[in-house]
């Protein structure tokens, strides 16, 4: 296998719904980071959520049911079975899972508050990844 499976045209509309939800998170990150006193933990949570939804969009596009997990490492490895490069990019964002846990759970073992610069850097990566998944759309649905 070449490491890249073709997108199922029947599945693309469902994948596009996942991307629409990811777009909401990307928009929220932009709003939150540009606030006068940015709530960085909330922005960090949306970074992870956007990555998760982009990963699940890729899985759905390749007709692979996404698991109910927030673990980006696991999701990246599953995407890699269908599209190696996309999977590697998602796996490289695995550290965002800790951002999510720290932002969501006050009793988290590790307290993480990324800087605004870290969030901006991740936002750029997420926007690029989102475009890459969109580029996988079947030509008649792009």
The domains located in the chain, with CATH, are 9-134 (1.20.120.330)
- Size of the chain in residues: 142
pLDDT band at 4; cut points 50, 70, 90: low
Name all contacts of 14-19 with Cβ < 8 Å and 24+ positions apart.
Answer: 14/60, 15/57, 15/58, 15/60, 15/61, 15/133, 15/137, 16/57, 16/137, 16/141, 18/53, 18/54, 18/56, 18/57, 18/60, 19/53, 19/54, 19/57, 19/130, 19/133, 19/134
**Of 96, 72, 98, 67, the residue nearest 86 (C-alpha):** 72
CA quadruple 95, 43, 15, 140: dihedral, nearest 10? -110
User: What pLDDT score was predicted for residue 1?
Assistant: 39
Residue 79: predicted pLDDT = 97
Q: What is the pLDDT of residues 28-86, one digit of tens each?
A: 999 999 999 999 999 999 999 999 999 999 999 998 999 999 999 999 999 999 999 99
């Amino acid at each position: 296998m070449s490491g890249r499976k073709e997108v199922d045209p029947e599945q693309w509309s469902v994948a596009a719904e996942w991307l629409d939800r990811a777009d909401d998170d990307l928009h929220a990150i932009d709003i939150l980071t540009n606030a006068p006193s940015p709530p960085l933990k909330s922005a960090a949570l949306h970074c992870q959520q956007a990555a998760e939804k982009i990963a699940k969009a890729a899985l759905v596009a390749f007709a692979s049911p996404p698991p109910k997990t927030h673990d980006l490492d696991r999701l990246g490895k599953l995407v890699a079975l269908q599209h190696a490069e996309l999977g590697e990019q998602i796996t490289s964002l695995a550290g965002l899972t800790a951002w999510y846990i720290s932002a969501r759970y006050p009793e988290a073992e590790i307290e993480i508050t990324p800087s605004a610069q870290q969030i901006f850097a991740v936002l750029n990566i997420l926007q690029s990844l989102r475009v890459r998944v969109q580029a996988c759309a079947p030509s008649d649905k792009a």
